[in-house]
């Protein structure tokens, strides 16, 4: 069975009067149910709309709103959203489950595995997980901030084959469609180059968060992990079925080679607790010779971490090289660096970051991430 994550943005769920639009939601529910009951797909839904729905029913304006008001609106709106999905999916004999996440739930490896096991259990039992950010309890430091990023992490969690971002526009355009009347849809993206990234602008509607910018970040994370991404219009008739039938609607981003799940978590889910600065020889060994990181290549250690922590690997000029699981504590690494400076050869020490626990995050000359295997 193929696994799909479908993300629906606020702009596709909210009616002009600010309320949840049952007609629109029903159309998604029918489409998702039809795919799920074909027996060919397991689907997880990431649905935005809690804040907008809450503001709508409370009659509160989104302008100059305080954080507690926004979080209160999310608490009200999430209830409305869950209730509507539950009722509409029940009509299609599909049981739904609500999962609300913060970034810290994913950053911690144990919690990540718990979420993965829960999602697996739901999917294998034919229950539809409906995911959103836990907006009403989230503080800035642990926010995803946008559901595009969240949906791509959900795709990593369940090792999806495809991530579909449904929005109020039929794909990525060559310019912001509200500002550039000549802008055209780009049907396919093989590589997310800096030129492609430059095309993505902010939301076009007052209810959207992140616009195309965050959709491209999500697409980068997913495609690098080996998951195809389609951005398509939520109002296109039978959009999900047509995408699954291979019709070229929206913008399709093609995946690179599949990355092992642990590595995609290291790259995009985990939180780095420190930094290792490495010299040019080590950068070359890591990026071109697929070697592990040895103590010999480390110039400086930043932060205070234990062995087993995730750290960033950076160049002397502070460019990101990668991330990985470190085998020594920061204290021990500093000690070893001192001994190295005093002339001691440290050949007997094992890898500081083993290749299998290392993800390279630099692009090659073709704007591809360097092969991880
Ligand atoms: N290059 C672009 N191509 C298409 N849309 C773009 C582009 N740059 C910015 N946008 C805006 O991004 C919007 C979609 O993002 P957003 O409003 O956050 O939707 P959602 O609520 O579905 O996440 C579009 O309606 C459009 O106005
Ligand atoms: N978690 C928020 C939505 C955040 C978000 O990314 O919104 P959107 O850009 O509409 O997908 C909510 O439920 O209101």
Give the residue whose CA is nearest to atom 19 of ligand 1: 208
% of the chain exceeding 90 in pLDDT: 83
Question: Which tens digits make up the pLDDT trace of 210-237?
Answer: 889 999 999 999 999 999 999 999 999 9
- For 5-14, b where at least 16 C-beta lie within 10 A, e where not — what string? bbbbbbbbbb
Best of 5, 6, 7, 9 for a ligand 2 pocket test (most atoms within 8 Å of beta carbon): 9
First to last CA, the chain: 25
Residue list, annotated binding site: 7, 48, 135, 147, 167-168, 209-215
We find that the CATH architecture of domain 2-259 is 3-Layer(aba) Sandwich (3.40)
Under the banding of pLDDT at 50, 70 and 90, the label for residue 144 is confident
Q: What is the mean pLDDT of residues 143-161?
A: 94
Q: What is the mean pLDDT of residues 360-366?
A: 77
Backbone angles phi, psi at 2, to 5 degrees: -85, 145
Q: Is the CB of 167 under 6 A from ligand 1?
A: yes
* 8 A C-beta contact, residue 365 and residue 193: no
Q: Is 80 exceeded by the pLDDT of residue 365? A: no
DSSP string, 259-320: PPHHHHIIIII----EEEEE-HHHHHHHHHS-PPB-GGGEEEEEE---TT-EEEEE-TT--E
Q: Is the CB of 145 under 6 A from ligand 1?
A: no
Out of 182-186, 189-193, 364-368, least confident range = 364-368
Map out the domains of the chain as residue ranges.
Answer: 2-259, 272-360
* The domain made up of 272-360 is a member of CATH 1.10.420.10: no
Mean pLDDT of the chain: 93
Query: What pLDDT does 347 receive?
Result: 76
Q: Is 90 exceeded by the pLDDT of residue 348? A: no
Q: What is the mean pLDDT of residues 153-165?
A: 98
Question: Which tens digits make up the pLDDT trace of 61-94?
Answer: 988 899 999 999 999 999 999 999 999 999 999 9
Asked if the domains at 2-259 and 272-360 fall in one CATH topology, the answer is no
Best of 8, 201, 213 for a ligand 1 pocket test (most atoms within 8 Å of beta carbon): 201
Task: Using alpha carbons, select from 7, 3, 93 the residue that is nearest to residue 41.
Answer: 3
Q: Is 60 exceeded by the pLDDT of residue 373? A: no
Better-scored residue on pLDDT, 226 or 347: 226
Q: What is the mean pLDDT of residues 230-250?
A: 96
Q: What is the pTM of this model?
A: 0.94
């Amino acid at each position: 069975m193929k696994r799909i994550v479908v993300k629906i943005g606020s702009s596709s769920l909210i009616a002009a009067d600010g309320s949840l639009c049952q007609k629109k939601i029903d159309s998604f529910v029918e489409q998702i149910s039809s795919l799920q009951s074909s027996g060919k797909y397991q689907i997880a839904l990431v649905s935005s709309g809690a804040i907008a729905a809450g503001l709508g029913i409370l009659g509160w304006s989104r302008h100059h709103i305080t954080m507690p008001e926004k979080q209160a609106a999310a608490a009200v709106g999430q209830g409305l959203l869950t209730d509507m999905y539950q009722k509409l999916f029940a009509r299609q004999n599909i049981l739904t489950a609500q999962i609300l996440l913060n970034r810290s739930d994913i950053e911690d490896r144990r919690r990540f595995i718990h979420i993965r096991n829960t999602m697996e259990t739901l999917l294998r039992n034919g229950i539809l997980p409906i995911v959103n950010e836990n907006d009403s309890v989230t503080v800035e430091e642990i926010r995803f901030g946008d559901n595009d990023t969240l949906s791509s992490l959900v795709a990593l969690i369940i090792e999806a084959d495809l991530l579909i971002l449904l929005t109020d526009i039929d794909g990525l355009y060559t310019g912001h469609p509200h500002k550039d009347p000549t802008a055209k849809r780009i049907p396919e993206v093989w590589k997310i180059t800096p030129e492609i990234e430059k095309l993505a602008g902010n939301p076009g509607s007052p209810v959207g968060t992140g616009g195309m910018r965050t959709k491209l970040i999500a697409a980068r994370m997913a495609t690098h992990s080996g998951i195809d991404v389609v951005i398509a219009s939520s109002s296109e008739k039978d959009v999900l079925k047509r995408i699954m039938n291979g019709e070229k609607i929206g913008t399709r981003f093609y995946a690179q080679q599949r990355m092992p799940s642990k590595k995609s978590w290291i790259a995009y889910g985990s939180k780095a607790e420190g930094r290792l600065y490495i010299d040019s020889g080590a950068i070359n060994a890591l990026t071109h010779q697929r070697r592990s990181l040895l103590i010999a290549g480390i110039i400086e250690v930043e932060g205070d971490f234990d062995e087993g922590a995730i750290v960033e690997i950076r160049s002397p000029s502070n460019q990101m090289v990668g991330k990985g699981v470190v085998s020594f504590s920061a204290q021990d690494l500093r000690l070893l660096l001192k001994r190295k400076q005093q002339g001691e050869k440290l050949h007997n020490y094992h890898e500081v970051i083993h290749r299998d626990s290392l993800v390279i995050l630099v692009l090659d000359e073709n704007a591809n991430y360097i092969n991880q295997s």
